[in-house]
Chain A
């Protein structure tokens, strides 16, 4: 089974450490332009959402690439760009619905999350666990559990109210 990068944006503190470690891990350089993950913010709402490649199963970037530089690694589930083939046309950037494909304006090439070969460093550094690396199958059941918990709590509160009224 392949693992996926799960983003729990409500936990994000907006510190952008993920951006820093991503750039340094890949390029040895601090520069958000080089980061595969970016935190998008609504400052006056206090909302911060990290955005990265979703590693789509039916990836628009892969289909859109005119030189077939993008492939899917079936073992890891990771969508990969071969820099030797890439011509830097940025078609993948424009077709990606999430902005997951980034363009590094300094080296003039596209960059994307490669899950750090199975050990994503953004996840390792994110102490609040806004970023997690989980089995793809677990994502949905975790969400179900959280939603069920909310229902359960609401139910209990309603029951307490009923008892009070009686």
Chain B
């Protein structure tokens, strides 16, 4: 007998429909699985057999052929265990469970991994599968109960959570009712302000704080340059606390990637905080971009809609930094591997920090630098021009003096800064309405021309800045975009000279540094 069950597979961060076809015919007992499955799929044969047996059902002692259609797409991961088990049981001519037929099972898309005991285990990447399946018109799903939180954020689908194979059989044959997953409303979260990572605990560093405020408001990339112990890492760690709230669309995109990478918290089911990724400088290029056999998403994709923090940037291998060029420009990365070529979104804000020289004290007021000019040159040149070109804000962080540390001066809390950031983001969301662009930093060249109109006074200022301060041409558009964000922070419609002047202050590495 033949049966056909609907299931779904994963290609990158998109789902695609897979039909699980099972044929059982007379012959020597044999199990054949075709349809370009990977090892996890080939091994499902053993899991399925044991799960059916251990759930108290009979396993047909016949020639079983399973096909995963379409047959020309490589399939990975143990998504199909449950569908194969249901397929085998319904195709078995000796099956005597009333109402348990392939036809009744085809009302659902069946997803789940089986354990030998017949339990249904959670799968990675359910959310992207649900989103794709829903777009293709599928409504009813049988999913592992451990994944139910993840499923609860997708509207227009009915998901029935199951925890054992037995439940599936009973549910499909209408012997048992299962409560579908309740739809949850998305609530954005910010880094808990009760913990120590709050800007009110950062003494002094007014310019750096202001720069981070602008970065958060406009999604600009930041490079902090300062001696060791000046608080660069602390500032960066506080940065998530002022990031604007994620919209539901943004959260879905992030969750898709995290779900595929298996980094999703099953308790929450969705990523509701902007991700903050801090790969160490021993990271390899592949771990940053994504790759491996299954073209898994890398750190830069996991930082999508959030922050990628590179501490001690010049310590990263050159190739690791250079591969950031394309994603910083396009907001996505294409990972091509033998088996699969996937494009992952990678629209992140880059926060990087570095010392001004190998010993760290160059330009310090209190400490003497021991490096030779050529050493400093060598150190600074580890960050190539094209990368610097993509960083809008360079800010120097001075070492903190004792007076600053002991000072009673009250610093503004993150919550206060966040309010301004949120307001500026709202202006931008209105501005880029329908442009699939969330921030000033990602403005295209025509958009920059359109939204960053300068009056005569601003033009003059910019011109004299270029000739006097010896700025490079690459700084031009960066300055305009940052000035746009500064104007947004003040709620101003037009860019004023003071906004331009402040934006210029954040281009220190474009000038002659030595």
Q: Do A and B come from one complex?
A: no
By a beta-carbon cutoff of 8 Å, the part of chain B in contact with chain A is none
By a beta-carbon cutoff of 8 Å, the part of chain A in contact with chain B is none
